[in-house]
Structure 1
Amino acid sequence: MRILFAEDDKRLSKMIDFLLKKENYIVDCVYNGQDAIDYANLSDYDIIILDWMMPLKSGIEVCRYLRAKNNQTAILMLTARDSLEDKIDGLDSGADDYLAKPFEFPELLARIRALSRRINKTFYNDIIEYKNLKLNCCNAILTYKQIEVSLSPRENQLMELLIRNIHQILPREQIIDKIWGYDTNINSNTLDVTIKSLRQKLTKLSLSDCIHTIRGIGYKFEMDI
């Protein structure tokens, strides 16, 4: 199950990220409300956990934005504001549940499990298909017209991101944040090397021209055949 965790307290964020991953959840962490919106627009999550007070946009603003865009992902609001009026504001903004700080990690897990039982959709699909192209995210096998190529873990993540956002321009910064992590110190050339490597794999499938470089911005995956 995929979780987006938005919390500006980096110490708390890293601790919760570590504990959730120990429970075998797939977690993306961001530290402000605008990044929470960008990540939610970029990928599919099963649950989004939002801190109420964050830079750029508050958890309430993020929640209202997502609901206005018809994003139905389950949302859990975290906040030190625990008055009845605050709880009502959080739930009225579109949150599915509310957890007051400070909280114990087992309670957070219990809330996540409860929300997962209420999700009215299947969990994350490990097989992604577009026309005759199929990516098995579990074993990192990309198939096109019965021809298969094996991808490295980074190529697999990048291919998944491109297919899920086909025909959309993905900025370099968003791709790096999504695949290597928000606090990464990698050289920007690392993305270019991964793109080049993935293009070589696509060449074996006769799809070498599907990844387009958008100069000064990022990349776009198009497949009209």
Structure 2
Amino acid sequence: MRNEGAAGLATVLALADSRLPIGGHVHSGGVEEAVSSGLLRDNASVELYLRRRIATTGLVTASLAAAVCGGALTPERAELEADARTPSPAARAASRAQGRGLLRLAKQLWPHHDWAPAGARPHLSTVFGMVGLACGARTDELAGVVVYTTLTGAATAAQRLLALDPAAIAAGTMRLAPLCDRIAEEAALGLAALSDPVQDALAERHLHRDMPLFAS
């Protein structure tokens, strides 16, 4: 039974909706550069990339958000922890851009919540954690949302860039659902501290692309 004031299922699902207007649709999660570099070519290579992204970026981002949601980290401390876990300046900029987008939306949805601790340019993980607090989501629920959006944003970008069958991409994301659940459970238990040199390198190389389709 859910506690009084806890987030309803519809609220949790809405946070995981790709239509959430936070600017995520313009970020590929390194996919655009991976496609350009020949690392991603087909459904199989995309699924491998998504597995790697879920287990690294997804885990770290979700663990930070869950820590803020559960009160283990203040937003101010979460910002420092996020910077320490994001070696790539380009990846940090992408996280902060999406964080600002989510913060703008959150201020409209929960206007009486104190958003001042987020600052002007918060990481996405920090704002997700604060949103969890504002709406009463459980830490495991919030971690699941963050991991899922880490997966679907990159998957959608891959489908668009490679002109893959949307049904095949959807099937791949369904196959990855058990992994998402396991990573979310791990993220809710405590802070993760790891990075992915491949994704860091892709993020930095993307800065030098001529006329990119995605911001990151």
Which of the five TM-score ranges fits, normalised by the shorter chain? under 0.3
Q: TM-score, normalised by structure 2?
A: 0.24
> Which structure dedicates a bigger proportion of its chain to helix?
2
With a CA cutoff of 8 Å and minimum separation of 6, indicate the structure with the bigger relative contact order.
2
